[in-house]
Each structure stands twice: as C-alpha cells, then as structure tokens.
Structure 1
Amino acid sequence: MAEAAQLKAETSSQPGSATAALRQTMVERQLRTFDVTDLPLLRRFLTVPREIFLPHDIAPLAYSDLALTLVHENGRPARSLLPPLVLARLLQDADIRETDRVLDIGGGTFYSSALLSPLAREIVALEDDSRLAATARSYLQFIGAENVRVEAGPLAAGVPGAAPFDVIVIQGAVEAGLDRLFEQLTPNGRLLAIARSEPDAGWAVTRFDRSGGAPAGARALFDAAAPVLEGFEKAPGFVF
C-alpha cells in the first residue's frame, strides 16, 4: 500500500489538475483491481488527462470503464476506444522499455501514445482516418509528446518506412491480416491485439512473440472484446 500512497501524493501535488481526483479513482478502482501494477505506467494514467483526447460530448465519460466511440462528421462510427482498464493491461503486458520503438495502431486520437511517450524511445501512431490522425497530432502536440509521430494509412499495412519496431500494439480485434505487421517487428519483437486463439474460442488480448526472427507462439493474456478493425477481417468462406 506504500506504492499507492506514493502515487496519490504525486498526483495530488500537480497544479491545475481539475480531474486529478477522477484519475486517482480510475487507477485505484479500475486499473489496480485489474492487476495493473506497473508504477511508471500507473503514473502516466494519473498524469495524462484523458478528457482532452475526447470530443466534448463524451469527455464526461473519460474515466468510466466503458468503451467509447469516436464518430465521423457524418455521424458514422469511426473508432471504438478500449476501456482504460483493458488499455492499461494491454500496455503493461507489452513490457515496453525506454529503448523500444513502438507502433501504436488504431488508437483514434491516441491517448495511448500520450501515455507511452516517456516510457518508450519513439512511437509511431497509425490511423486510417486522416481526420482522426490530424486531431491526434494537435492533441499530442498540446500534451508535449514530442517523440510521437502520427501517420495516416491502412492499418494492416503498418508503417514499413519506419520499421522495425520492438512492439506493435493493435487497439482492436483482429481475425487475420497480421503478416505485413510481423515483417515490421524486430527479430525479438512482440505484437499485442485482441484475437481468438482458436476459431471457437473467446476473444482475448493476445501476445504474439518472435524469437530470432521466427514465430515464437501466441499467448492469450486476458479476456477482452472490441470491434474487428478494418483490414484485419477474416476472408468470407465460400457460400453455395
């Protein structure tokens, strides 16, 4: 409990933080109870104001345990954001180090990249919606995340010009289409996404590892669900 007291003292001393109490509650009641124990990561969740990465209509839900949806200007859904507790466990299980280069895929306005900014050497954030990508750039600039670069393009294509990456994080579900991303990992890199280990299995955050440039297996880490991201759909089977 000494760690919890230390974190509380740090966040309460931050000036001008109107939502510090809400972030503290999120960390204590959602993240810690979901086995998120990494102190540097918890400090980021206490420090980074999630509401500035959300449109005004859903900003009041910034610290809820809900999956929030960003929409296009035409009203159609653009991106489903992972609940904070799922995002926190996913990032913790990625074992991101200060020397790592990270590809962050499908994060909408990339609150996730703001969280990771001081925890990794470099982050490339990829969205397929150019409007979301432009919005993310402005938010990340505001928060001072200078080591984050935002790219717009097909999610499953990755960013080969910026590869290799030590870690690839996909913030949504995948059924297929990971081949090009595996090629962009370092020889001992890892990729995390929501996937099924078997066709009839449930959805779970799954870690795919490489060792010496070869596949080293996949591990289902914890149950989670999200929409299948565009480009990662399984090809439809033949229908008579």
Structure 2
Amino acid sequence: MTSSTPLSLDRARFNMIEQQVRPWEVLDPAVLELLDRVRRDQFVSRAQKALAYVDMELPLGHGADQVMLAPRVQARMVQDLALKATDKVLEIGTGSGYTTALLASLAQRVVSLEIDDAIASAARKNLQQAGITNAEVRVADAAANGFAACAAEGPWDAILVAGSVAEVPAGLLALLTKGGRLIAIVGHEPVMRATVVTRVDDAGFSTQQPWDTIAPRLRNFAEPSRFSF
C-alpha cells in the first residue's frame, strides 16, 4: 500500500492532529473536528499529496514566499481567532485555500485576497471541490493604496494575515469592528511571534503574542527600519 492511498492519508491526517496539532495547544474541539473533516490532501497538488499532512511548508508557486503554511501553524492561527458563526472574516494570502476552508467552516463569510492570479485560481477550484460556498477568493494586492481592497467590505470581525509582516499595519487594525480580532506573524528572523490584536473600542486595542514561529514574508507590506538613532 502506497502513501497516497486513502487509508494511508486517513492515518496521516490522524497523526497530524495527534502528533503535530494537539502538542501546539490546539485543543478547541470545533477546530480539531474540522481538521479531521476538511481534507488537507484536497488542497495540494497531485505530486504533494503524500506530503499533505507532514509538518512542513509546501511550495505553491515560483517564489520562496509562495507556500502553504505548516498544518500546526494554520490550525493554531484559526483557533486563536476564536471565530463565531456570525463573523465576517478577511484573509490576506489565500494560498491553497485550506486555511480559507477552515475559516469559512466556522464563520458566516470569508473574503480572501491573493496577490498571485494562478494561485488564486487553484484555490477557488480547491474550495469548490471541498464544497465551501461562503468564501470568495479575489486577486488583489492587499497592501496597495492604503489597504483599499481590504476596506471595500469592512469593517471585519476577524482578519487573518497568512504570512509574516514586520509590524501589524495600523490600516488593517482600523478595519476591525469593536471586539474584532486580527492575527498575524510579526517580527524578523530568527524571532517572529504570532500576534493577536483585539479592538477594545474606537481607539483602543489589546495585544497578545502567545507563541513563536517563522513564516515567509507577505509581498508588498511595509518594512520599517529596524534601526533607531
């Protein structure tokens, strides 16, 4: 029996949940159930199916920044957004569409922005085949023109930034509803931290950085100087 047979993929998915995801403190029953139900192998290329549940990033395009994040990172980010069934969610960086599918399964609606046309097209196909009907993938540079593409349907109850940024842009925080949450991976190698920002009121935000990881940069987000004088 080869590693690409359904039984082997079922075992690989079980091992992913129990050996990768749970040890990363992903313990929300709703998220764990989703990881079992939404088949990650349906969101990768045929050549990558045997790697769908491995603890690694998978390349999606020609650039080093075009990857599908590791399963444990995707799962923890989704869990830490604490989505409700009434939430309207913005995702920046669609990738394969797998995180999009997880978000859409927990929220009312997801709008996902992807800068690469070919990757966006593949993600739409993946989502359609997975039966996800409440997520829309749009081709857009999220950071362009003061986050104009992000603001089009805002404000948002939750925003997931599916990659790393040097800092959380104020322009994105301004698009959160009261009580809205944003999660992004923030910092510079070798130290980056998952950062969860919650809008407390019109002018106030609370920030938590519950775990560390490394992720490729999102394209075209500002890189402020790391040095001060």
Q: TM-score, normalised by structure 2?
A: 0.87
> Structure 2: how far apart are the matches of 1:203 and 1:222?
9
Structure 1's 153 and 146: CA in aligned 2 closer, same or farther, altered over 3 A? same
Shift in Å, 1:65: 0.6
Task: Indicate if the aligned counterparts of 1:19 and 1:49 stay in contact, CA closer than 8 A.
Answer: no
| Corresponding residue to 2:162 among 167, 171, 180 | 171
Structure 2: tracts of 5 or more residues without a match: 1-5
Alignment of 1:70-89 (within 5 A): 70-72=60-62, 76-77=63-64, 79-89=66-76
2:66 is paired with a residue whose SS is strand
Q: TM-score, normalised by structure 1?
A: 0.83
Task: Indicate if the aligned counterparts of 1:53 and 1:111 stay in contact, CA closer than 8 A.
Answer: yes
> Structure 1: how far apart are the matches of 2:98 and 2:80?
18
Task: Indicate if the aligned counterparts of 1:81 and 1:107 stay in contact, CA closer than 8 A.
Answer: no
Which residue of 2 is the match for residue 231 of structure 1?
220
2:47 is paired with a residue whose SS is coil
| Corresponding residue to 2:127 among 116, 128, 140 | 140
Q: How many residues align structurally? A: 218
> Structure 2: how far apart are the matches of 1:200 and 1:31?
23
2:36 counterpart of 1:46: yes
2:191 counterpart of 1:191: no
2:92 counterpart of 1:94: no
Which residue of 1 is the match for residue 110 of structure 2?
123
Task: Indicate if the aligned counterparts of 2:91 and 2:160 stay in contact, CA closer than 8 A.
Answer: yes
> Structure 1: how far apart are the matches of 2:154 and 2:162?
19
Identity of aligned residues (%): 33
2:48 counterpart of 1:61: no
Structure 1 stretches of at least 4 aligned residues deviating more than 6 Å after TM superposition:
none
2:206 counterpart of 1:217: yes
